[in-house]
Amino acid sequence: MQNRSHLSVLIHEQAKKYGSRGALTFRTFGSLKWKTVSWKQFSLRVKQVSNAMLNLSIKPQENIAVFSQNCVQYLYTDFGAYGIRACSIPIYATSSEQQIQFIINDAQVRFLFVGEQEQYNKAHRVFALCPSLERIIIYDDSVRISSHDPNALYFEDFLKLGEDLPRQTEVEALYKQANDDDLCNILYTSGTTGDSKGVMLSYGQYAAALKANDACVPVTENDRVIDFLPFTHIFERGWAYLALTEGAQLIVNTYPKEIQESMRETHPTSMSSVPRFWEKVYQAVKDKMDRSSAWQKKLFYHALSVGKKYNVDYICNGKRPPLHLALEYKVLDKSVLSLVRKVMGLEHPNIFPTAGAYVSPEVENFIHSIGINMIVGYGLTESLATVSCDHIGEKITIGSVGRPIQGIEVKIGENSEILLKGPTITKGYYHRDELNKQAFDEQGFFHTGDAGYLKDGELFLKERIKDLFKTSNGKYIAPQMVESLLLVDKFIDQVAVIADQRKFVSALIVPEFRMLEDYARAHNIKYERREDLCENKEIHDMMMERIETLQQGLANYEKIKRFTLLPHHFSMESGELTNTLKMRRPVIYKNYAAVIDKMYEC
CB 383 within 8 A of CB 424: yes
- Identical fold for domains 36-178 and 468-599, yes or no, is no
State how far Cα 418 lies from the chain centre: 21
Contact indicator for 566, 591 with CB cutoff of 8 Å:
no
Profile the chain (602 residues) by mean pLDDT over runs of 10 residues.
Answer: 96 98 96 96 98 98 98 98 98 90 96 97 96 98 94 97 97 97 93 74 97 94 95 95 98 93 96 91 89 91 96 93 96 95 94 88 94 95 95 91 96 93 96 92 93 94 73 74 89 91 90 93 93 94 94 86 94 86 88 92 76
Query: Which alpha helices (DSSP H) does 116-202 contain, by range?
Result: 117-126, 155-160, 168-177
- Collapsing DSSP to helix, strand or coil, 467 comes out as helix
Q: What share of the chain is helix, strand, coil (3-state, %, to 5)?
A: 40, 20, 35
544: buried, middle or exposed (CB in 10 Å: 19+, 13-18, 0-12)?
Answer: middle
Give dist(CA 79, CA 52) in Å, integer.
13
Cα atoms in the Cβ-side hemisphere of radius 13 Å centred on 105: 13
Asked whether 513 and 527 are in contact (CB, 8 A), the reply is no
Compute the Cα dihedral for 272, 273, 277, 278 and give only its sign: positive
Q: How confident is the model at residue 125, as a pLDDT?
A: 95
Any idea where the domains of the chain sit in the sequence? 36-178, 468-599
> What is the per-residue pLDDT for 584?
87
- Strands (DSSP E) found in 132-223: 135-138, 152-154, 183-189, 197-202
CATH architecture of 36-178: 3-Layer(aba) Sandwich (3.40)
Distances (CA, A) of 150 to 127, 135, 487: 11, 9, 49
The pLDDT, as a whole number, for residue 478 is 80
Q: Are 187 and 232 in contact (CB under 8 A)?
A: yes
Is the separation of the CB atoms in 351 and 220 below 8 Å?
Answer: no
- pLDDT for 195: 62
Mark out the alpha helices in 344-494 (DSSP H runs): 361-369, 433-439, 479-486
- The dihedral built from the CA positions of residue 516, 522, 523 and 524, taken in this order, carries a sign that is positive
d(CA 534, CA 569): 13
pTM: 0.87
SS3 category, 353: strand
The amino acid at 222: N
Has domain 468-599 been given CATH number 3.30.300.30? yes
Other CB atoms within a 10 A radius of the CB of residue 413 amount to 13
According to DSSP, residue 349 is labeled -
What pLDDT shows up at residue 545?
94
Strand partners, 550: none
User: Which residues share a beta bridge with 273?
Assistant: 354
CA distance 516 to 495: 15
Alpha helices in 247-358 (DSSP H): 259-266, 275-290, 294-308, 323-332, 338-343
- Considering only CA atoms, which of 77, 13, 87 is closest in space to residue 48? 77
What confidence score (pLDDT) does residue 429 get?
A: 96
> Which sign does the torsion angle of CA 64, 67, 72, 73 carry?
negative
Q: Which of 395, 583, 575 is nearest to 480 (CA)?
A: 583
Is residue 572 within 8 Å of 582, Cβ to Cβ?
no
